[in-house]
Amino acid sequence: MTSEGADASRDDQPDSALAIAAAVRSGERTAASVVEVSLGAIAARDPELHAFLHVASDHARAAAAAIDETVRAGRDPGPLAGVPVALKDNLCTRGVPTTCASKILEGWRPPYDATVVTRLQDAGAVVVGKTNLDEFAMGSSTENSCKGPTRHPMDPTRVPGGSSGGSAAAVAAGLVPLGLGSDTGGSVRQPAALCGVVGVKPTYGVVSRYGLVAFASSLDQIGPLARSVADAAVLFEVIAGHDPLDSTSLDEPVPRVTRVLEAGVEGLRVGVCNELVEGTSPDVARRVREAAEDLAKAGALVEEVSVPEMRFGLSAYYLIAPAEASSNLARYDGVRYGLRVDAPDVAAMNTATRTAGFGAEVKRRIMLGTYALSAGYYDAYYAKAQRVRTLLIRAFERAYERLDVLLGATSPTTAFEIGERVVDPLAMYMSDVCTIPSNLSGHPAMSVPFGTGEDGLPVGVQVLAPALHEEPMFQVAAALERAAAARAAAVPGGEGRR
């Protein structure tokens, strides 16, 4: 094992995924040394953050050694050679615990890898561990974890957002350059915004869901978390693409987002979406307006638009997502795997197991969903919500007839205090009001850090695009990243608190 002191102190900023991959591919650095840096950072910082539920040190070291062997043998180690990656703990990893931060899956080790995990490994990436989340991805703060909350890397009294708060915090804190999360109602973008990193929700069907433990199947999509748009773009291209194991996977060419990052935004039509600005805190709204101004200065054609149907998104979402969840989570019955609480007969065992195994928020959503699907209520709730969804998709399509992308806030506020919204589920649900519409429509959207709020904590600006139009989305995101850097350089202390 090489000494890591030099590596780690070479720069204040942790290395980007692209820099690591280039160094490992050229033989300048070993994957083993890179992984040790990451494991060391996790050991130093994670006791406070609690971003990880499981650190797979042995797996990671073995994988790194294999990549170094590949490099030595002169073979191509892949575009993410030696890059440490953190996986949200609802992604199945063969032989490595996958808990969804739920007591009900305690001790379960999947016998198979999720498709994204296989693709990461094929690309040379090294999985270093599994990250914390709201139980079964149900939440917006990573507080609903049976293992306790993850803390915000810049302020331990605050939440990192959720539900992919563990991956977002790990990336933001520099423990790993890349993370994967899942986004059902904003669970990648919202923690990305709160933690000050890039978070992407791809077009539904572009990334295989095989091996992602389902929350709401028609909304779930796996997405990258990274510290730069370029890193997120590489990770996106690695995990995207048709998978015959997922029937909803699209058999379409993967958008080549890495090629468009320097393309600029001249002539792109950008709509600042009223519904994604109104209702956000004033400092967040100001950042969105600044972002729009910067895009206009860079040559984009910026206008204000209204998509009123977005206002119904939250209501529709909180019927459809729990309905699907109530069915997806039925299998945790104590019969085959995970927790079992013994009882005199099977039905009683099911009840005892589920009562002990699920947390309050999961139970709340199972109840909501069961109710929404029940005979006599289906038409009034679930079927109506699906009609709203159709209306929303049409509204988006109308907007995209004359616009390339939409712009708005990712989260209505910056990171909030731990405990602040736990007692008020509706306030917590409002955290996702800006992100939910894209899940309902299946369209891609991503969050890019853009300055800070009055509290000095990061603000994310959201870029939304039509289905399979990740290219203009990344194009705009890259421009925003440059603009944010320019603003930070111009304003003393503008990078927020550290």
Partner 1 sequence: MRPPAGIDGGAGDGGAGGAGGNRGAGDSATGDAVARGSGATDWETVVGLEVHCELKTQTKLFCCCKNAFGDEPNTNVCPVCLGLPGSLPVLNAFAVELAMRIGAALHCEVRPSSFHRKNYFYPDMPKDYQISQYDEPINVGGWLDLPDGSRVRIVRAHLEEDTGKTTHQGESGRIHAADYALVDYNRAGVPLVEIVSEPDIRSSAQARRYVTELRAVLVATGASDGRMEEGSLRVDANVSVRRAGTTAYGTRCEIKNLNSLRSLGRAIDYETARQIALLEATGVVDQETRHWDESGGRTIPLRSKEEAFDYRYFPEPDLVPLVPEAEWQARAAGSVGLLPSARRQRLVGLIGGAPSAHQVDQVDVVVAQGLDDLVVAAVAQGAPAELALVRAANELAADLDAALALDPGSFAQLLTMEAQGALTATQSKAVLAELIAAGGGDPAGIAAEKGFEALSQSSLAAVVREVVGANPEEWARFLAGEDKLAGFFTGQVMRATGGKADGKAIAAELRRLRR
Residue 141 annotated as catalytic = no
Question: Is residue 258 a contact residue for partner 1 (CB under 8 A)?
Answer: no
Please choose, out of 25-33, 228-236, 322-330, 459-467, the segment that lies near partner 1 by the rule CB under 8 A.
Answer: 322-330
204 vs 400, beta carbon nearer partner 1: 204
Question: Is residue 378 a contact residue for partner 1 (CB under 8 A)?
Answer: yes
From candidates 51, 60, 85, 213, binder to partner 1 by CB under 8 A: 213
Q: Which of 33, 88, 164, 167 is catalytic?
A: 88
Please choose, out of 259-267, 292-300, 367-375, 390-398, the segment that lies near partner 1 by the rule CB under 8 A.
Answer: 367-375
Task: Give the list of residues 6+ apart from residue 91 with CB closer than 8 angstroms, or none.
Answer: 98, 114, 116, 117, 130, 180, 182, 211, 212, 213, 222
Question: Is residue 344 a contact residue for partner 1 (CB under 8 A)?
Answer: no
| Nearest Cα residue to 382 out of 394, 366, 361, 368 | 368
Give me the least distance between CB of 327 and partner 1, in Å please.
5
Question: Is residue 10 a contact residue for partner 1 (CB under 8 A)?
Answer: no
Give me the least distance between CB of 317 and partner 1, in Å please.
14
Do the beta carbons of residue 102 and residue 358 sit within 8 Å? yes
Q: Which of 16, 141, 167, 187 is catalytic?
A: 187
306 vs 370, beta carbon nearer partner 1: 370
Rounded Cα distance between 257 and 220, Å, is 21
Q: In the 3-class helix/strand/coil scheme, how is 110-174 assigned residue by residue? A: CCCCCHHHHHHHHCCCEEEEEECCCHHHCCCCCCCCCCCCCCECCECCECCCCCCHHHHHHHHCC
> CA-CA-CA-CA torsion for 221, 227, 233, 235, nearest 10 degrees?
-60
Rounded Cα distance between 425 and 197, Å, is 26
Q: Which of 33, 38, 140, 163 is catalytic?
A: 163
Do the beta carbons of residue 301 and residue 438 sit within 8 Å? no
From candidates 168, 188, 193, 212, binder to partner 1 by CB under 8 A: 212
Cα within 13 Å of Cα(421), Cβ side = 23
Please choose, out of 158-166, 372-380, 418-426, 439-447, the segment that lies near partner 1 by the rule CB under 8 A.
Answer: 372-380
From candidates 44, 62, 347, 485, binder to partner 1 by CB under 8 A: 347
Do the beta carbons of residue 206 and residue 239 sit within 8 Å? no
> Residue numbers of the site for partner 1 (CB under 8 A)?
90-92, 98, 100, 105, 108, 110-112, 114, 209-214, 216-218, 244-248, 323-324, 326-327, 330-331, 333, 335-337, 346-347, 350, 370, 373-375, 378, 382
